[in-house]
Amino acid sequence: MKFLTSLVTSVLLSTASAGLVSPPVYKLSFNKLRGETFEKAVGNSNGHANFDIKNQQNFYSVELKVGTPAQNVLVLLDTGSSDLWITGSGNPYCSPSTRNSHLGSAGSNSSTNNGPSSTANFPSSSATIDCSQYGTFNLDGSETFKSNDSTFYLTYGDGSFAKGLWGMDHVYLDGLNVSDVSFAVANESNSTVGVFGVGLPGEEATVTPGVNGNHYQYKNFPQVLKDNGVVQKNAYSLYLNSPDSNSGNILFGAVDHSKYSGNLYTLPIVNTYADQGVAPREFDVTVQGITVGNSSSNSTVSSSDKTLALLDSGTTLMYLPTALADELAKSLGGKFSPSTGYYLIPKPSENDDTKITFDFGGFHIETKLSNYILQGSGPQDVAILGILRTEGDRAIFGDVFLVDAYVVYDLEDYEISLAQANFNSGSSDIEAISGSVPGASRAPGYSQTYTGNQPSSSGSASPGGSTGQEASSSSSSSSSASNGDSESSSSSSSSSSSNSGSSGNNSESSSSSFSNSDKRGLTVSENGVGSLRAANPMILAFVTTFITSMLT
């Protein structure tokens, strides 16, 4: 199971697996690396490690060539944020020997990395980060870099931060050269790697009014691909592949019908900012029920409460409102452990066929219980459940869920299409997206969206800036074509993939229903164990400490 180890997913842009496809789409394939720690994530084929999770990293990364001459940098691919920012070569947090470091070749993963610092307050600048693995960008070394003299500043709940300036330059990916791409250069950051955000424009760090009262949206990477004719529509598909696989891909401007089974159903993105008169900012969808069952029983119980769920590929585990999480764990024979912050359940056998199934309004996505099991070094009959509590009524569905889903993100029509992921696909069957998602149909419960404390939304509000994100950011600027002054918040991550599949998956399962809390929020309860990915899009990591002796 990939969740027992550190996981670094690198996008290798080889001509065999990436680049322009005809009709106009753009495909990036990625490889997955596993290891006991972040530093050792170089290819553990069995995907296992004893529990004692510290600074577990789970992310998907892209190698970019930036500037003229090109400088290689590795950045996190994040569907939950919308800005591209890269680490500057003068970052004082880089150890002196690793400043001005550029990646030598695509997918170079042999260097070690100590991971970003994480403290309650801004740490003092100390040269402790090895910046050689992911590379840095020397803006003075690029003949084509253009600064607009605007400042970039992001802070996150765990004390990680990035600050620098905004500018534009050429960005090269395999088979693709994009000029005048807007991005930020973080000349000071305690994070080891930058972020390649491909989310909704409302998540851009420049959106919220800043200290000088200016705010704006600019064209981020997905929109630039459309404007340059690389794709026909601002949309992309995400396929994580099976937990044991070493490959997966993100497909801009198209859907690959070979990567899912059953029907592809479309849901509206729930606009939690509709009362502010702005467009959706995050990939939230409505979950209408959860069931747990196996082949030995055929009873089904569904919940009448709706849950708001953020589909977030930057989150490793799953976060559920406390009441819902308690009921789900109870149905698995589990109990919450205050000393660890986790639910402990009887360890399933290797042949256990229990599934956790999610109802999205007339269609279901099945996920294996094994996805959620964290194997520890405590008692052999006890397992740790990879589902954590949050306060409020909003859930976050991370990779434990998304690995079983095929997800299409339509950033123009504010919709998400889901299907059950197919791990046994043959040849690709790629179809470009020019209007509606090809092969997708509206879910039977399309209009039955979550309302909670927010207005019901079908994702059709007018675009514009808004507030309310977890991480704070500011960018003060002079007037420029694509950048200006602002102070904004950068919020919970991305949802990259989500599952959907054929309907009626639960006919032969015993199940339990789970009620939903009516509070909103994203804070993990009980000792703060578990850090919401929403509060830290830079690191895209789940950080927690498990004390083995407490299980014995």
Q: Which residue has the higher pLDDT, 17 or 134?
A: 134
| Residue 275 a catalytic site member | no
Q: What is the pLDDT of residues 183-229, one digit of tens each?
A: 999 999 998 889 888 889 998 988 876 543 467 889 999 999 999 88
Which of 55-59, 165-169, 178-182 has the least mean pLDDT? Answer: 55-59
> Letter for the amino acid at 232?
Q
3-state helix, strand, coil in the chain (%, to 5): 10, 35, 55
3-state SS class at 399: helix
Residue 166's alpha-carbon distances to 148, 150, 180, 471, 481, in angstroms, are: 6, 6, 12, 18, 12
> pLDDT class for 59, splitting at 50, 70, 90?
low
Q: What is the pLDDT of residues 236-247, one digit of tens each?
A: 999 988 887 766
Which of 84-98, 123-137, 239-253, 389-403 has the least mean pLDDT? Answer: 123-137
Q: What is the pLDDT of residue 102?
A: 53
> Letter for the amino acid at 449?
T
- Give the residue extent of every domain in the chain: 50-233+477-490, 256-459+497-543
Q: Are 491 and 79 in contact (CB under 8 A)?
A: no
Average pLDDT over residues 242-270: 91
Q: Report d(CA 56, CA 544) in Å as an integer.
A: 8
Q: Which residue has the higher pLDDT, 83 or 527?
A: 83
Catalytic residue among 83, 158, 174, 312: 312
> pLDDT class for 332, splitting at 50, 70, 90?
very high
pLDDT for residue 280 is more than 60: yes
Which of 149-163, 250-264, 404-418, 469-483 has the least mean pLDDT? Answer: 469-483
3-state SS class at 177: strand
Q: What is the pLDDT of residue 245?
A: 77
Q: What is the pLDDT of residue 75?
A: 86
Q: Which residue has the higher pLDDT, 18 or 151?
A: 151
Q: Are 426 and 251 in contact (CB under 8 A)?
A: no
> pLDDT class for 505, splitting at 50, 70, 90?
very low
3-state SS class at 207: coil
pLDDT for residue 493 is more than 70: no
Tokens standing for residue 498: 């989500």
| Residue 312 a catalytic site member | yes
Q: What is the pLDDT of residue 117?
A: 29
> pLDDT class for 272, splitting at 50, 70, 90?
very high
Which of 105-119, 266-280, 414-428, 439-453 has the least mean pLDDT? Answer: 105-119
Question: Environment class of residue 249 by beta-carbon count within 10 Å: exposed (0-12), middle (13-18) or buried (19+)?
Answer: buried
Q: What is the pLDDT of residues 391-400, one digit of tens each?
A: 888 999 988 9
If you average pLDDT over each of 247-256, 269-278, 487-496, which comes out highest?
269-278
pLDDT for residue 92 is more than 80: yes
Q: Which residue has the higher pLDDT, 32 or 546?
A: 32
Scanning the structure block, which residue is given the tokens 């032969």? 508
Average pLDDT over residues 16-38: 53
Average pLDDT value for the chain: 71
Please choose, from the candidates 255, 271, 295, the residue with its C-alpha nearest in 3D space to the C-alpha of residue 202. Answer: 271
Catalytic residue among 78, 284, 305, 359: 78
Tokens standing for residue 232: 């026909």
Q: Which residue has the higher pLDDT, 287 or 216?
A: 287
Q: Are 365 and 397 in contact (CB under 8 A)?
A: no
Q: What is the pairing mode between strands 56-66 and 6-11?
A: parallel
Average pLDDT over residues 78-96: 88
> pLDDT class for 99, splitting at 50, 70, 90?
low
Long-range contacts of 212-218 (CB under 8 A, 24+ apart): 212/476, 212/485, 213/485, 214/476, 214/477, 214/479, 214/484, 214/485, 214/486, 215/465, 215/484, 215/485, 215/486, 215/488, 216/465, 216/483, 216/484, 216/486, 217/463, 217/465, 218/182, 218/482, 218/483
Q: What is the pLDDT of residue 197?
A: 87
R_g over Cα of the chain: 22
Q: Are 248 and 29 in contact (CB under 8 A)?
A: yes
Q: Are 529 and 431 in contact (CB under 8 A)?
A: no
Q: What is the pLDDT of residues 293-310, one digit of tens each?
A: 988 764 343 456 899 999
Please choose, from the candidates 365, 350, 435, 445, the residue with its C-alpha nearest in 3D space to the C-alpha of residue 404. Answer: 365
Domains 50-233+477-490 and 256-459+497-543 share a fold: yes
- Which CATH entry fits the domain spanning 50-233+477-490: 2.60.120.260, 3.40.50.2000, 2.40.70.10, 2.60.120.10? 2.40.70.10
Please choose, from the candidates 116, 103, 109, the residue with its C-alpha nearest in 3D space to the C-alpha of residue 44. Answer: 109
Tokens standing for residue 503: 């309907």
Helices of type H across 243-380: 322-331
Q: What's the CATH class of domain 256-459+497-543?
A: mainly beta
Q: What is the pLDDT of residue 241?
A: 87
